[in-house]
Chains A and B, each alone.
Chain A
Amino acid sequence: MSLWRLEWLRLVRTRRWIALVGVYVFFGLLGPVTARYLSEILSFAGGELQGATIEFPPPVPADGMAQYVSNVMQIGTLVTVVVAAGSVAFDALPEMGIFLRTRVPQVLRILIPRMVVTAVAVVVAFVLGSLAAWYETWALIGTLDARAVVAGVAYGSLFLVFVVALVAAVAGRAGSVLGTVMVSILILLVMPVIGIADAVGRWLPSYLAGALGALPSGAARPADYLGAASVTMAAIAGLTWLAVALARRREL
Chain B
Amino acid sequence: MIRTTALTKRYGAGVAVDGVDLQVDEGSIYGLVGPNGAGKTTLLGLVSGLRRPTSGSLHVEARLEEIAVLPDTPKFDPWLTGREVVVLAQSLSQSKADRVDEVIHDAGIEHAAGRAVGGYSRGMLQRLGVACTVVGSPRLLLLDEPASALDPLGRREVLDLVARLRGVATVLFSSHILSDVQQVCDTVGVMDKGKMLFQGPLEGLLVGSALPRYVVRCRPPIEPVVAALAAEDWVQLVEQTSPDEASVTVRSLTDAESRLAGALAAAGARVISLGPEAVSLERAFLELTGQ
Contacts and interface: CB of A to CB of B under 8 A. Distances in A.
B69 A102 contact: yes
A49 B279 CA distance: 92
A127 B195 CA distance: 59
B36 interface: no
Contact of B50 (A2, A13, A251): A251
B203 interface: no
A251 B87 contact: no
B89 interface: yes
A105 B77 contact: no
A207 B123 CA distance: 52
A251 B45 contact: yes
Contacts of A100: 92
Contact of A103 (B74, B80, B92): B92
Contact of B45 (A10, A104, A252): A252
Contacts of B71: 94-95, 98
B91 interface: yes
Contact of B79 (A1, A9, A101, A251): A9
Contacts of A105: 64-65
Interface in A84-102: 93-96, 98-102
B93 A1 contact: no
Contacts of A10: 77, 79
B105 interface: no
Contacts of A98: 48, 50, 69, 71
B84 interface: yes
B52 A251 contact: yes
Interface string B151-183: 000000000000000000000000000000000
B132 interface: yes
Contacts of A99: 74-76, 89, 132
Contacts of B91: 1-2
A14 interface: yes
B68 A251 contact: no
Nearest to A250: B50
Contacts of B259: none
A99 B67 CA distance: 11
A99 B89 CA distance: 8
Given A95-B75, A96-B75, A96-B77, A1 B68 contact: no
B199 to A, nearest CB: 25
A6 interface: yes
B34 interface: no
Nearest to B71: A95
Nearest to A2: B91
A39 B73 CA distance: 59
A95 B51 contact: no
Given A102-B48, A102-B50, 9 more contacts: A6-B77, A9-B84, A101-B50, A102-B49, A102-B64, A102-B68, A102-B69, A103-B136, A105-B65
Q: 10 closest A-B pairs (Cβ-Cβ)? A: A103-B92, A95-B75, A13-B79, A102-B69, A252-B50, A105-B64, A251-B51, A95-B71, A1-B88, A1-B87
29 contacts: A1-B88, A1-B91, A6-B77, A6-B80, A6-B88, A9-B79, A9-B80, A9-B84, A13-B79, A94-B71, A95-B71, A95-B74, A95-B75, A96-B75, A96-B76, A96-B77, A98-B50, A98-B69, A99-B74, A99-B89, A101-B50, A102-B49, A102-B64, A102-B69, A103-B65, A103-B89, A103-B136, A105-B64, A252-B45
